[in-house]
């Protein structure tokens, strides 16, 4: 049985504005999604799909890929998404779902689904690598989004990413001297990124503002001092807040926090980034946020 792995991701800069071509810095996480595959030559032309979440089975389905029909499943809505995605794989691939093979495909998501680390993007990249197709195009027709998360999954590295005027990305050497001072706190809920994206899209933005976020990303990448990095994060938060007219996560939950707190990705849920200070664990625990990772616990670079 073959195996492919794609890491999850955290978006450090340019959330929302990534869709308009702002330069993004994103980093891979240690946890991601595994994909196991086995192909057998027979005339049944079936796909046996099993999806595990932290090694616990949650979805099973059997798909006839000649007729594209779900023959068996325990969760019809989720099986329909898998069918649609695999049908897209067939349309793009020259080697998969073409002949009389039966496929045994298994996924295992290593992180909790409410972490927002990329359950969908890691799946898209694993399927694309397996089928030897373009992961960005598969993601575009199956899900949508800027594609920065696909770049991280594909490169298994920190990346600098831009979606416009065309997708381009490169591996980034993000290894700040102060990384061991950074922490990541989960907000106990999964944010619906589509809701935030729709709000962002409803507002008129200028190229000047897009460029300002690109400049912040460049400064973050070259920054070697925590104080400078902290100021960049504060500036970034206030620019986003002023534009989308949503209070910053610090003003909402951590108004008395002595250091910066920055949203990562869609505002309102998933993870935030901050820095260590005296008694930081007791502070966040006291606010009801018990899931705290240090940089080396969660980031794979």
CA dist list (Å): 289 to 112, 186, 219, 254, 264: 16, 7, 30, 11, 16
Instruction: Provide the domain count of the chain.
Output: 2
Top-confidence residue, 83 or 146 = 83
208 and 116, same structural domain?
Answer: no
| Whether residues 188 and 143 fall in one domain | no
Q: Are residues 87 and 187 in the same domain?
A: no
Q: Are residues 256 and 232 in the same domain?
A: yes
| Cα 181 to Cα 176, 230, 261, distances in angstroms | 10, 11, 13
Q: How confident is the model at residue 263 (pLDDT cuts 50, 70, 90)?
A: very high
Tell whether 213 and 101 lie within a shared domain.
no
Q: Are residues 190 and 134 in the same domain?
A: no
pLDDT at 269: 67
Query: Using one digit for the tens of pLDDT, what is the confidence trace for 99-158?
Result: 889 999 999 999 998 899 999 999 999 999 999 999 999 999 999 888 999 999 999 999
- Predicted pLDDT at 193: 62
> Which H or E run includes 291?
none
Q: Which domain does 25 fall in, by range?
A: 2-171
- Give the pLDDT confidence score for residue 190 in this predicted structure: 66
Give mean pLDDT, residues 277-288.
97
Taking the C-alpha atoms of residue 130 and residue 124, their distance in angstroms, rounded to an integer, is 10
Coil, strand, or helix at residue 249?
helix
Model pLDDT for residues 9-54, shown as the tens digit of each residue: 999 999 999 999 999 999 999 999 999 999 998 878 999 999 999 9
Residues 129 and 189 in one domain: no
Residues 158 and 206 in one domain: no
CATH of the domain at 23: 3.30.230.10
User: Which of these, 163, 164, 149, lies nearest to 11 by C-alpha position?
Assistant: 149
What is the model's pLDDT at position 32?
Answer: 98
Residues 30 and 12 in one domain: yes
Answer yes or no: do 97 and 209 share one domain: no
Same domain? For 77 and 211 the reply is no
CATH of the domain at 222: 3.30.70.890
Shared domain check, 209 and 162: no
**Predicted TM-score of the model (pTM):** 0.94
């Amino acid at each position: 049985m073959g195996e492919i792995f794609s890491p999850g991701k955290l978006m450090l800069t340019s959330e929302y504005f990534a869709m308009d071509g702002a330069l993004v810095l994103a980093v891979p996480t240690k946890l991601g999604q595994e994909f196991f595959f086995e192909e057998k030559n027979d005339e049944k032309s079936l796909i046996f799909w099993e999806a595990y979440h932290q090694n616990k089975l949650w979805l099973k389905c059997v798909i006839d890929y000649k007729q594209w029909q779900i023959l068996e499943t325990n969760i019809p809505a989720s099986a329909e998404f898998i069918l649609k995605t695999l049908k897209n794989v067939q349309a793009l691939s020259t080697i998969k779902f073409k002949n009389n093979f039966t496929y045994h495909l298994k996924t295992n998501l290593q992180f909790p689904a409410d972490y927002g680390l990329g359950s969908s993007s890691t799946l898209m990249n694993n399927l694309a690598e397996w089928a030897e197709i373009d992961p960005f195009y598969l993601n575009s027709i199956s899900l949508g989004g800027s594609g920065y998360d696909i770049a991280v999954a594909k490169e298994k590295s920190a990346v600098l990413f831009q979606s416009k005027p065309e997708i381009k990305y490169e591996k980034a050497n993000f290894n700040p001297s102060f990384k061991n001072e950074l922490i990541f706190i989960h907000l106990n809920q999964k944010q619906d990124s589509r809701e935030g994206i729709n709000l962002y899209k409803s507002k008129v933005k200028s190229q000047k503002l897009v460029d300002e976020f690109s400049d912040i990303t460049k400064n973050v990448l070259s920054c070697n001092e925590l104080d400078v990095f902290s100021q960049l994060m504060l500036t970034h938060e206030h620019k986003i807040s002023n534009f989308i007219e949503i209070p910053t996560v610090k003003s909402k939950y951590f108004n008395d926090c002595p250091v910066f707190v920055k949203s990562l990705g869609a505002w309102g849920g998933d993870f935030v980034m901050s820095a260590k200070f005296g008694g930081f664990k007791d502070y966040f625990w006291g606010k009801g946020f018990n899931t705290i990772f240090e940089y080396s616990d969660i980031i794979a670079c």
